[in-house]
Structure formats: C-alpha cells, structure tokens
Amino acid sequence: MRLFLQTKGCFGATVALGHFLRKLALVILKENDITGFRKPRRSLETFKKVGIPIIAVLLSLMAIVIVALLIKVVLDKYYFICGSPLTFLPREQVCDGRLDCASGEDEEHCVKDFPDKPGVAVRLSKDRSTLQVLDVATGTWASACFDNFTEALAKTACRQMGYDSQPTFRAVEIGPDWNLTVAQVTGNGQEFQVKNLTGPCHSLVSLSCLECGKSLKAPRIVGGVEASVDSWPWQVSIQYDKQHVCGGSILDPNWILTAAHCFRKYLDVSNWKVRVGSSKLDHVSSLSVAKIFVTKENALNSREKDIALVKLQVPLTFTGTVRPICLPFFDEELIPGTPLWVIGWGFTEQSGGKMSDVLLQASVQVIDSARCNAEDAYQGDVTAEMLCAGTLQGGVDSCQGDSGGPLMYHSNHWQIVGIVSWGYGCGSPTNPGVYTKVTAYLDWIYNVRKVSALVPWGALPPDISPKGMHPP
C-alpha cells in the first residue's frame, strides 16, 4: 500500500512538471515575439537555443527524482536502515528479538512483552464501585472509609489503575452484612498507606475513574445481524496494511484492549493502525499506533494470556460514536446463562467466505466451564482464565475476524468481561466460543497503563522486553 501511495505521488509530480514545461515553452515563444513577420523563425530558433536545453535539464532532474523515490520505496519495502553506522538490514530481521543494529533501533518499535506481576494495591468492587486497598504490611484487603477521603486520594487510586482522567467519588453507607475490614486511607501522591480506624466509620468510598459503558442506542435485535456504532461506540477495527485483522475495545482516550494472538505474526508497530467511530470498515480514517503490549506466552498452553493493549499516538476525543467501555469489577462473577453480547466484523459462515464489511452483533450467554471442558467439547483446554459463551442450540457465535473484540455484560453500564480468543469452528453447540476472562488480567491492564505513562517508549524497565527477545 505504501508503494502505491508513493508511486501515485511520483505520477502527480510528473504531471505537474509536464504542465510547467508547456507553460515554459509558451513563455519563451511569447517573450521572443519581436515582429509579426519573423515570429515563426525567430521563435523556433530561440526555443532551440534556450528552451530545449532547459527542458532537457528539467527532464533529467525529474528522472533523477523519480528514480530516487523508487529506490526509497524499494528500500523501505525490503530493508530497515540502521542509523549509526549506516546499515541496510533485511526487513525480516526487524522485530526478530535480536539487536542487529548497533544501537538496537531495529527492535525499538516492536510489540513488547509485559510481565503480569506485581499486583496492584487498589481495586473496585461490584458493590456500588466501592474502593478497596491492600494493606501491604498484613497482605489483607480493606474497604476505604469515606472520612477525610480527598480528591487527591481519589486521583492516586485511579493513577494506580492507569487512569489519568478526573475521578468522581461519593459516600455510600456500610451495609449490615459488611464483613470486610474498613480502614483509614492516607497517601503521598503515589502510594496509599492503610491505617486502623481511631473511631467509627459510617460510610465507604464509591469511586469512578472514568465515565464509561454508556451508548446512545440500546441494542434491540438478536442474532448475528447488523449493528449500529451508536450502540457500541467502543468497538474499533485494528488493521495491518489497511486490512482488518482484529477487533478491539476503547478503554480510555489512549488505550485499546484486544487479543495478543492478533500480533504474533506482525510485530512491527509502525504498520498497525486503528479505526474508530464507524460500523463500516472503510468509512473512517485510521489512527497511528504508538505502542503494543502483550503478556508473555504460557509455554504449556499457547491459548492462555491472550490479551494485549494498544496505545494510540494521539489520544481520542470522545463523541457519540467514540466512547470507552468499562472494565469489570474485580469480583464480577457471571453464572451460567448470564446474557452477554458479542460484536465484530468476522466471517458470517463457519466455512469462511468473506469477512463482513459492516459490524455485526449477537446475543449469547455464559456456558458452564464444566460443559466446555467435556469430552465432546474442549476436553479440559478451557482454563480458569478463560470464559465460554454461546447458545445451547448453537448457530450464534464469534468467528474468524472477530478476534480481539469484546464480550460484553450490562449491569447499570456496559462492561467488557471477555475478549474473543479461540474456538473450534463457529456456532457449534458443543464447541462454543472461548474468551479471555478480563477479570483475570485486571492487574496486568492497570500495570501496563501505569508504567507506560511513566516510561518513554525507548526506555524499558528491566523486565519488559521486545517480544521474543533472545538473551545476550
């Protein structure tokens, strides 16, 4: 695609230069029009002496420019240029996990592995979004008392989860059956200190770091039909060389949540783009990607840890068709039969065919993990970090091309509880879709966003490395 665009630019320059040469010839002829009687002969002689050499020089320059541009196109397509010393590196050696350039720039803008530890010392509960903090000294969790809780503390809590937006918080009553310790929370702007209460506490902190999970239009039609972006304003298309590869979900102005397996073949971040705000794949311009993080693969089960975060170069501006979806609460447990929604641009038939060019939506439900792991299904391959969803009669499911898209649950607001990951076929009653369980990776999501906000792109913490980096 880059070759087409640059060649098109060369053609445009050639046409423009041709117009210029014609105008130049007319000017030369006009300026040398001394007498009407001798005009043809004088004009022709002057054109031969002056115009032809000028045109020859300009044509030569044009040829040099075109050749230079074509050489650049070829070099960009097949080689990566190392800066110091100047070296032409074959493209297949870029993002291969080895530092081939002297300064390592061939591995700088690649998909990065990010560890899934340590844990984060704050979390939000599904009970009215109440804030819980970890007492590091004892290793126990406590609910934050509202007394003396400030906006600065709210910002600290949200920063721990990777948010940089303006939080809101309020007091909620402690229920009669509340069985978690309540503690006083203080902080230094970066971390919390948990202290024992010196008196009674009557209210807890209910915290919201970002307004999310709200759409302009509720979905009404069930079963693999066209969807409106007004219903799902967080859905994005993640594309490689302008071809749709995976879906994704907007978490905040900077970050898109998707599946790790989308990036296993193509590790060069510069070739990835994101399209937002449309239910059709070809109706909006694409956005550049700054960073892509994935979890380190589990050698025993390559389907595990199928989660990735994409950071945009320029933050999104939220509109009616571009909005974030909420992350789930840490204790959000979905029982079998819970209604869910899945959306995407994937294949509409199990045998393949072509990908849908409009966004499709389908209503599914949670399938019991024991049923998913039965002998006639996945035979134990579905782990505790995965979620099964579909319909008992089959026929409605996510499919190839839907990968990375959201599995959604609605409870006061829309939450992304799963990420389209894998499965056998599409729409089989015995083999429902398998999704990455988002609650299992909340700490990972929080850490990626938090660390990335503090560390420049080229400077990686010691335990973060380009994907597949070989030890020295």
Cis check for the bond before 339: say yes or no (omega within 30 of 0): no
Question: Can you tell me the distance from the alpha carbon of 16 to that of 101, in angstroms, rounded to the nearest whole number?
Answer: 39
Q: Which of 5-14, 327-336, 459-468 has the lowest mean pLDDT?
A: 5-14
Whether residues 256 and 400 fall in one domain: yes
CA dihedral 211, 216, 222, 226 (to 10 degrees): -110
Please check the confidence at residue 228 and state whether its pLDDT lies above 70: yes
| Angle between helical axes of 52-78 and 2-31 (0-180°, round to 10) | 170
Distances from the Cα of 237 to the Cαs of 132, 242, 310, 453, in angstroms?
34, 10, 12, 24
Catalytic residues: 261, 306, 403
Whether residues 177 and 266 fall in one domain: no
**152: containing domain:** 122-208
Give the three-class secondary structure for 98: coil
User: CB-based contacts of 453: which residues, under 8 Å, 6+ apart?
Assistant: 162, 164
Whether residues 241 and 153 fall in one domain: no
Q: In percent, how much of the chain has pLDDT > 70?
A: 77
Confidence of residue 461 (pLDDT cuts 50, 70, 90): low
Question: Can you tell me the distance from the alpha carbon of 199 to that of 159, in angstroms, rounded to the nearest whole number?
Answer: 29
Question: Can you tell me the distance from the alpha carbon of 139 to that of 320, in angstroms, rounded to the nearest whole number?
Answer: 43
User: CB-based contacts of 302: which residues, under 8 Å, 6+ apart?
Assistant: none
Question: Can you tell me the distance from the alpha carbon of 344 to that of 238, in angstroms, rounded to the nearest whole number?
Answer: 11
Q: Can you give the pLDDT at residue 329?
A: 98
Q: Are strands 140-144 and 182-187 parallel, antiparallel or unpaired?
A: parallel
Residue 285: inside a domain, yes or no? yes
Any idea what the CATH number is for the domain that residue 257 is in? 2.40.10.10
Whether residues 244 and 302 fall in one domain: yes
Whether residues 339 and 250 fall in one domain: yes
Supply the DSSP symbol for 471. P
Question: Can you tell me the distance from the alpha carbon of 126 to that of 32, in angstroms, rounded to the nearest whole number?
Answer: 87
pLDDT tens figures, 140-178: 999 999 999 999 999 999 999 999 999 999 999 997 778
State CA 22 to chain mean position distance.
50
Q: Can you give the pLDDT at residue 334?
A: 95
- Per the structure, the count of domains in the chain is 3
Give the three-class secondary structure for 57: helix
Concatenated DSSP letters of 406-461: EEEEEESEEEEEEEEEE-SSSS-SSS-EEEEEGGGGHHHHHHHHHHHHHS-TT---
Please check the confidence at residue 431 and state whether its pLDDT lies above 60: yes
Q: Can you give the pLDDT at residue 30?
A: 56
Residue 467: inside a domain, yes or no? no
pLDDT tens figures, 103-120: 777 788 899 999 887 889
Whether residues 6 and 143 fall in one domain: no
Confidence of residue 27 (pLDDT cuts 50, 70, 90): low
Question: Can you tell me the distance from the alpha carbon of 245 to that of 140, in angstroms, rounded to the nearest whole number?
Answer: 42
